[in-house]
Amino acid sequence: METRDRVTLAALLRSAAEQTISEARFWLEAQELAERVDEPIVKLAVSSAKGYWQLFQTKKKTFLLKASKPDAAEVRQARDELNLIAAVLETGWQLPVLTDITQD
């Protein structure tokens, strides 16, 4: 994977984790990158981002029929995962190292 693509994807993931990018914009840029770069790390990043964004789309209903906010711990864990993948991209770790870390 080219350095430019690694940096772009890392920045995109960090923007999502920091909520400084809209979901629509994120997916537009992520899709363009995923179509251009066929690497396992990109697939992992997209999968993690999908789980992250789904936290905000889940409409949990309480007994009062009001939508509730996503669980703060789940959001924090998903942000940490996006930031970990971004760090892997920025430092050039290999995917097997990341896979070992996320499975522990």
Query: Whole-prediction pTM value?
Result: 0.80
Number of domains in the chain: 1
b/e map of 12-36 (b: 16 or more CB within 10 Å)?
Answer: bbbbbbeeebeeeebbebbeebbee
Given this model, what pLDDT does residue 31 score? 95
pLDDT at 76 exceeding the cut of 90: yes
Determine the structural domain holding residue 67 and report its residue range: 3-103
Residue 93: left if φ>0, alpha if ψ -120 to 50, beta else—which one? beta
Residue among 28, 52, 30, 29 at smallest CA distance from 41: 30
